[in-house]
Structure formats: structure tokens, C-alpha cells
Chains A and B, each alone.
Chain A
Amino acid sequence: MKYRLKILEEMVDVNVSHSDSDQTMQAIIEGREYNVHYQNVMDRCFHLDMNGKLTEVFVAAGNQGKHVFVNGHSFFVQDADQLIVRSSRRKGPEEIPGDITPPMPSVVLRIMVKEGQRVKRGQGIVVVSAMKMQTTLVAPTDGTVKKIHTTVDAKVAPGDILVEIEKEIVDNE
């Protein structure tokens, strides 16, 4: 079986053959070979023998991926084939909106722009706050504020489009 697994921005092919009956698996990752024997010792915890090295790993389901803990490090691993592709909302080459979305679950503190306002790349658009830390979300490009989809005090999450910015196309002719 072949998996294409994503950690952060990196996608890596994992070729696997396994045997349920004796709980073994052979994996080849970017040319690295692993002979694995695994045991599900308790809830979401596996004891692995990888090429003779013993490791305990923990795996918990997450949103569109799994959280894995190994030796003090945690990784969010996703199956690239199972990721839901976000609809691009592109209307055409002339209108490419820039989406302002928060990097973490947070509360909107201040909206610094109005609909129809022209903004420059890097200009502050929305201030959000989480765990006593304020972050200013900035315009990714020069453009015009097309629509504001949020209000002050709204609770927002990554993926929520707070403000749409219509990118300004500079005529180079």
C-alpha cells in the first residue's frame, strides 16, 4: 500500500506492506527501510520495534489528520489523499480575493478597515486576541476591502474568512 503523508508543508511517500496476523510491517520511506513489529498496548498507544529500536508512540485523531507523539515531539500527520480540497473561490484572473483568516481560535478585537477601502500589502486589517496575545492580521496584497464577514467580539477560528480583499491588478502595459 502506498500513502502520501504530509507533515507541516512536506509530503513524503510511504510504501507499506503489513501482516495483521503477526503484527509486522515493512515500510520504505524515501529509500529508508524499516522492519516494524507493533503492539497496541493500551488506548491509542503503540509499542514499536523499528529495526530493533523500541519506541512508544501515541496517536490521537484530529481534524483531517492524526496527532502523533514520539519521544517528546508531537507531529500533525495528514494523508494527502484524504485532505478536503478547499474550493478556491476564484472567479477569474481579474478577481483574486485575498482571504484574512485567523491563525488560531481567537476573538476579534478591532476591525481596522471599511468596505471599499483601499489597502496596501502589509497593512493591518483585523486585530484578534487569544490567550492574552494580540495579533494583527495584515493584507497579503495591495487591494480593496471587498467584504467584511465579522464583527468585534466575534469568536473566530482558522478557516473562517474574516475579511475579503480584492487584489489590485497593476496594469503593466
Chain B
Amino acid sequence: MTMFKKILIANRGEIAVRIIRTCREMGIHSVAVYSDVDTAAAHVLEADEAVLLGKPEPSESYLNIERIIDVAKSTGAEAIHPGYGFLAENPEFAKCCEAAGITFIGPPSSVLRDLGNKTVARRIMESANVPVIPGMIEATHDIALLCREAEHIGYPVMVKAVAGGGGKGMRIVFHPEAMEESCISAMSEAEKAFGDGSLYLEKHMKDPRHVEFQMLADHHGNVVHLFERECSIQRRYQKIIEETPSPAMTPTLRKEMEKVAVSAIKASGYINAGTVEFLLDQSGQFYFLEVNARLQVEHPITEMTTGIDCVQQQLEIAAGNPLRFTQGDITHRGHAIECRIYAEDPEANFFPSPGGITLYREPCGPGIRNDSGIYEGFEVPMEYDPILSKLIVTAQTREATRRRMLRALRTYVVLGIRTTIPFLIDVLSSPEFVKGNTHTGFIDHHFENWSQSREDEDAARIAYVIEEITSHGKASPKVSKKGWPTPWETLGQWRM
């Protein structure tokens, strides 16, 4: 069995910390890379070695292929782990690694290329008898063609970007009158976000569940699944809560879906860790959505219930080792839920909330895991996506897990920036969530005009006053502020 001695992690935030932790545990030397605004970021502090890439703009740093490969070469890193987002599914990057003799921890660049094009992916699946959502298998810029296809498929339709992801370049169209305009705006958004404005259509499914299977495939032909995750609770196509097992799963359904997931992986020639995503409609029919050719944000819930370290498996596979277990060895115990904690203000339409974290206390207790990329005093930069941490909780049953998550959220203190914690608390407390009636329309249906509960406002006012009287005029804020203090800050405690 071989293993790398040194790995470069081409990412930042919580996932970079997560990967470095496994490297530490495996005795692998880790190299972190960072931009100007991340000089004190958690992943930089955790790594064995850290190299500055450049300016904060992703193109100058975390998306700078040439620079990253250079750093890998100069530090002697044998492999690069791309995390998720950034370059994780970039075939060009994988190809450059291959050309430089550096192992890309993920699937081959050709597979990334195929699966990154959503219509090519659909064609591959169709030919492997994987059920796909009714729709187009060729993308186009021709809006008239899209309108004709929409008539053929039947409204409502989903307009999607072929190079897409993260909800960009997507529109739901209910009526033919809105079709042209939706295509134009989706095309322009996709062009800006991915450099490719071509679109395709799928039939819009009403309130499906998003169910995905975690897969591992090694270089020796072994393919296994690590059970499913349900990721239906989404806001603007961004997942915010994930759980395993899916409340809708039955042993029969699982057997059918795992078989199809394995076919999908084999048909695409996939190697390493990946996820096959399905939409499960209300009648129990499931359809292939896409393959996520990377380690996903929500992988920890699988780790908690199977006991398998997904990052470790990625490194083993990339190093050429065969999987050490068979499908029969893999078991699933208990239930796990993950809440993504975003730096967003849920009361201000989820506007991003970058800034300094003035107070930070993580929840703890049995069955609690917090994969965090932040700490007290850290300045959350505005240049990157707003994920702060992932709070993962496990317990024996779904209800026990749900209650444990609520306890954890209520004791997770983040002050100085806004987070989505109060929103998550209300989602998890809702009767529909308790019943497991989760689907992708959940947030839209039940939480459209949400605002934070006001029952603790008096306590907040009283806390303010108590802090004021006990600090006796120590007025200067903990977060360092530039410039001269104003008289309001230096005057001290006074009252009329």
C-alpha cells in the first residue's frame, strides 16, 4: 500500500481544515495556499506549510491554476486535493495536474469534462438505462428551438445551463408567455457565471425530494455506495439542511436506487469519491439529476453514520490502493443531520454578512461535530462564498437527532456578523420537518416571509443593560476600529 507524503490543498475555509485534519491523522504533510485576506485563516494556521498565492480575487488566487501548480512543484507536493467549488470540477486543472505529474485527488480530467457538461452526462446515463428527467439531451443557444422543445416536453419546464451549477442560469417557466424572457436572462447569467450560455430543458417536477448516493470507485474496478443523503431543504437552489437516511427511503427503493447509482458511476468511468443525485417524485419514481464529481459539502453526515472517513478514502484511491472493504462490510447506523451555517442575514433577505467575528462559542456534547473555518477574531472576507461552518449531529433516531440539532443550534454563539442560525432553528422546529415532509419546495412553501422570533427581545434588552452597568464605561469595542475614537467612546458611562 502506498501513500502520499505531501499533499497540497487547493481550497480554503472549513473544507480545507477538514482535509488537513485527515492528512494529519494519516501522517501526511499538508500544504495550504491562501490569498491576501486569508493570511490568518483557519486552514493556514492548521497546515504544516502555507504559501501565499496572491490577491483575494479568486482568479488571482484560488482559481489560479498556474500559480497553484507552481506552488505544488516548489513545495514537492505529490498530490492536490481540490476540495469542493473552486477548481474541484475543472477539467483543465485536472489535466494540468496530470501533465505536471501531480496526482489530482478526484476523477480523471476526461470524466470531469463529460460529467461537467450536463447534456453529455444525460446522454451517458440514457445509454446506460439510467432513468433521466424527461428533457433535452443537446444544449443550444437557439431560443426559438428551446420554445418549441418546451411545447414538446410540456409546461412547466426548467431552463438550465449546460455548464451550470449552484442554481445559476436556471429558471422555472410555467407559461409559454414567459419562456423567451426566461431563456434570455438565464443565458446571460450562465454566460457570465460559466463562460457558456447554452441551455437545455428538463420537465419541472413538483416538489420532488433531492436524494443522492455517496459513491466510491477505485482504480481496480471496485464500486461501492455509502448509502443516501436527502438534501431537499434548499434556498435558491442552495442546500441548507441535509440528512441521512432519507425519511422517504424504504429498503426496496434503496435497493433500486443503489443499483442505478452504481450503473451511473460505471457508465461514466468514474474514479474516486463522487455523488449521484436523483430527484424522487411524489409517486416514488426517481430520475437521474447529475453526478457531483467531487467531495461534497454534506459528506460528514455519511461519515457519522457509516464510520468511514471519506477524505481518507479519496487519498487511498488516488494513491492507487484498492478499497479495503466490500459493499457487504458497509453499514449504516442511526441518523445524522447537517445544518450549513452561512454568513447571511435571514432578516435582510439573506444578504451576505461579511465582517469580524467578535464572539464565538461552538456547541458541544455527545454526537456533535462542527466543521468550522472560522474562529473568534477572524475577519470573514467578502470575496468568497458565505459558508462559515457545517454543524453535524448524530443520534439513534431521526427525532433524537432533530432535538440534538436544536440544542446545538441554540448554543452556537456567533456574534459580530449575521448568520442563518435563527432561521435553521425555526425550520427544524416546524411541524412539517418533524413529520419528514421534506421536498425542494419546502422553504418557499413554509418560510417565505420569515422573521426572527421576538420572544427573547426583552432578555436581549436586559442583557444590554447588565453589560453596560458591569463594564463601568469600558467603552472601546473589541473589534479594532480604524481612526481616532470619538467622544462618545471615550466619555465613559454617564446618564441624565
Are the chains A and B members of one assembly? yes
Contacts of B91 in A (CB 8 A): none
State whether B465 touches A16 (Cβ < 8 A).
yes
Closest-CB distance, A46 to chain B (whole angstroms):
6
Residue A25 at the B interface, CB < 8 A? yes
Which secondary structure dominates where chain A touches chain B?
strand
A29-B461, A48-B466, A105-B382 given as contacts; is B359 within 8 A of A72 (CB)? no
A48-B462, A74-B419 given as contacts; is B386 within 8 A of A131 (CB)? yes
Q: CB within 8 A of B384: which of A71, A74, A131, A135? A: A131
Contact with A along B373-387 (1 / 0, CB 8 A): 000000000111110
Identify the 8 closest CB pairs spanning chains A and B, nearest first. Answer: A131-B352, A72-B410, A61-B477, A60-B358, A67-B415, A60-B359, A57-B463, A59-B467
Q: CB within 8 A of A77: which of B412, B416, B422, B461? A: B461
- The interface-forming segment of B152-160, B311-319, B451-459 is B451-459
Instruction: Give the complex CA separation of A12 and B343 in angstroms.
Output: 28
Residue A163 at the B interface, CB < 8 A? no
A131-B343, A131-B382, A131-B384 given as contacts; is B466 within 8 A of A68 (CB)? no
Residue B425 at the A interface, CB < 8 A? yes
Residue A36 at the B interface, CB < 8 A? yes
Instruction: Give the complex CA separation of A17 and B384 in angstroms.
Output: 47
Contacts of B347 in A (CB 8 A): 8
- Of all chain A residues, the one with the shortest Cβ separation from B467 is A59
17 contacts across the A-B interface (CB closer than 8 A) = A25-B466, A27-B465, A48-B462, A58-B359, A61-B475, A61-B477, A67-B415, A68-B463, A68-B464, A70-B459, A71-B410, A73-B425, A77-B460, A77-B463, A77-B464, A79-B464, A103-B351
Contacts of B425 in A (CB 8 A): 72-73
Contact with B along A64-82 (1 / 0, CB 8 A): 0011111111110101011
Sample of 8 further A-B pairs with CB below 8 A, known A27-B465, A48-B462, A131-B384: A25-B465, A34-B462, A48-B463, A58-B359, A69-B415, A73-B456, A104-B354, A107-B383
Tally the A-B contacts, defined by beta carbons under 8 Å.
169
Chain B interface size band reads: 35 or more
- Of all chain B residues, the one with the shortest Cβ separation from A27 is B462
Closest-CB distance, A129 to chain B (whole angstroms):
8
Closest-CB distance, A153 to chain B (whole angstroms):
9
Q: CB within 8 A of B382: which of A1, A34, A81, A107? A: A107
Among A18, A34, A130, chain B packs the most CB atoms within 10 A around the CB of A130
Closest-CB distance, A33 to chain B (whole angstroms):
10
Contacts of B478 in A (CB 8 A): 60-61
State whether A105 touches B359 (Cβ < 8 A).
no
Q: CB within 8 A of A5: which of B383, B452, B464, B496? A: B464
Instruction: Give the complex CA separation of A132 and B115 in angstroms.
Output: 24
